Chain A
Amino acid sequence: MTDRISHNADTPLLRVDSLSKSYGPVVGCRDVAFDLWPGEVLGIVGESGSGKTTLLKCVSAQLEPDGGAVQYDTRDDGPRDVYGLSEARRRLLMRTDWGIVHQNPRDGLRFGISAGANVGERLIAVGERHYGDLRAEVTDWLERVEMDIGRMDDLPSTFSGGMQQRVQIARNLITRPRLVFMDEPTSGLDVSVQARLLDLIRMLVGTLRIACIIVTHDLGVVRLLTHRTIVMQKGEVVEHGLTDQVLDDPQHPYTQLLVSSILPV
């Protein structure tokens, strides 16, 4: 792979333009636009049904939008319309330069194969054949997500929810993606497990300087992890800005309501 097209400082990694998606009469998301820069972490918040998952799926090439465009600064070809890529190139992009961490580990892991095999799968898909190298790389990544190496040959179903999410994260990061999408990566976990997983995500995203889009309904999560926040209501973006600005001086009535309903700790 050549690096001839510069990932220059003036090109966003991702450019989303007037993106819309409806399910028949039901609006999923409408007319959404934003840029994402290398290493930037963007949070998407909003109440249930506001279109967060729809938006994330449209942006991450999992769900074709009805209108609008998603442009990604590919490593070898510069900015390209994601839905204009051939199926093969899009799939390669999705399993090398991107990562997708699902809320439900069942959507992001293969339950019929071991944790180690799950983590190594993307490397094999991009051509790694040497068993020793593969095993070393998988071990390294399991360690990075603070998993017990002794359990690498166990099936994901034997793990707790928090451990399954760690395996999912390792599985995605092993190809060194530049962009990771996460949909409620910590919801459904115990509070203490959630906290440790958030620390891990914060540490990995920060040290590897991965750009990230995180969907969450938890304003504490956006405060902790993100640079910028998009607030959605009824499929539309009602507020968008630096995370601390959106949380400390919210402008839109809906954002003010969201912020004011956080219990003081």
Chain B
Amino acid sequence: MTDTDTLLNARNLSKTFTLHTQGGVRLPVFDGLDLSLQRGQCLVLVGPSGAGKSSLLRCLYGNYLVQHGEVMVRHDGRMIDLTQATTRDLLDVRLRTLGFVSQFLRVIPRVSTLDVVAEPLLAQGCGEDDARDKASTMLARLNIPDRLWSIAPATFSGGEQQRVNIARCFVADYPILLLDEPTASLDVDNRKIVLDLITEARRRGTGIIGIFHDPQDRAAVATDTLELAAMDQAA
């Protein structure tokens, strides 16, 4: 393993929520957490509900702020600390390096499914026809019937929305993927397709940090696991 195989290196991360609207209650989620991710690795976060798995992924994406620690991400051939990055740099890292699948699709109203999926490619500078081709291929692979492509995903079923969400992320070929329960609302066939996509990406060298509820899914993709314990929230 060489130095350039390290895609992400987080050190001494601490996250505590302070709920000002509820009397300033403090919810410590994790403290002094370290993790690193190499090319071709699939690191699976495990732990009971409320342990902070989703919060950790969001901190790695810059969606949640940490109180302490650093999140070094390989971007454009150098390591950049997301906790210190300007919003502009962070947006660039998200544009080209970090893909994120949230547990639920945040639907953009009135934008067609095909456009939702093509959007990350267009933002990366891909030509319109090429972007639509790739988006179509990915939607087809994820079994979204083409009669749905021209309508907005707002009215889709939970599983269909989740597959649109996955298509949108996998279409862009990010070097690092953060996946929050991507298989949770899928049936057996679609679950298999998503697990295959993950494994293919990993074999190409993509680094993946994921959360999978189902032990079988976990076993199918994990190369490593990281255990998160619920913190004592009496503090």
Residues of A within 8 A of B (CB): 37, 40, 195, 199, 224, 227-228, 241-242, 244-245, 248-249, 251-253, 256-257, 260
B219 at interface by CB-CB < 8 Å: no
How far apart are the CA atoms of A180 and B91 in the complex, in Å?
21
User: Which single member of A40, A199, A260 contacts B21 (CB below 8 Å)?
Assistant: A260
B158 at interface by CB-CB < 8 Å: no
Instruction: Choose the segment among B36-44, B57-65, B70-78, B138-146 that binds chain A (4+ C-beta atoms closer than 8 Å).
Output: B57-65
Write out, one digit per residue, whether chain B residues 84-112 have a CB within 8 A of any chain A CB (1) or not (0).
Answer: 00011011000000000000000011100
Asked if B63 and A248 make an inter-chain contact with CB atoms under 8 angstroms apart, the answer reads: yes
How far apart are the CA atoms of A58 and B111 in the complex, in Å?
35
User: How many residues belonging to B are interface residues under a CB distance threshold of 8 Å?
Assistant: 17
B20 at interface by CB-CB < 8 Å: yes
How far apart are the CA atoms of A83 and B91 in the complex, in Å?
31
Asked if B19 and A249 make an inter-chain contact with CB atoms under 8 angstroms apart, the answer reads: no
How far apart are the CA atoms of A111 and B159 in the complex, in Å?
51
Asked if A37 and B88 make an inter-chain contact with CB atoms under 8 angstroms apart, the answer reads: yes
User: Which single member of B18, B21, B64, B109 contacts A195 (CB below 8 Å)?
Assistant: B109
Residues of B within 8 A of A (CB): 17-21, 58, 62-65, 87-88, 90-91, 108-110
A242 cross-chain contacts in B, Cβ below 8 A: 62-63, 87, 90-91
B18 cross-chain contacts in A, Cβ below 8 A: 251
Asked if A249 and B21 make an inter-chain contact with CB atoms under 8 angstroms apart, the answer reads: no
Asked if A245 and B63 make an inter-chain contact with CB atoms under 8 angstroms apart, the answer reads: yes
Given contacts A244-B63, A256-B21, contact A249 B91 (CB under 8 A): no
Shortest distance from the beta carbon of B167 to any chain A beta carbon, whole Å: 20
Shortest distance from the beta carbon of A165 to any chain B beta carbon, whole Å: 17
Known: A251-B65, A257-B21. 11 other contacts (CB 8 A): A37-B88, A195-B109, A224-B109, A245-B62, A245-B63, A248-B64, A249-B63, A249-B65, A253-B21, A256-B21, A257-B20
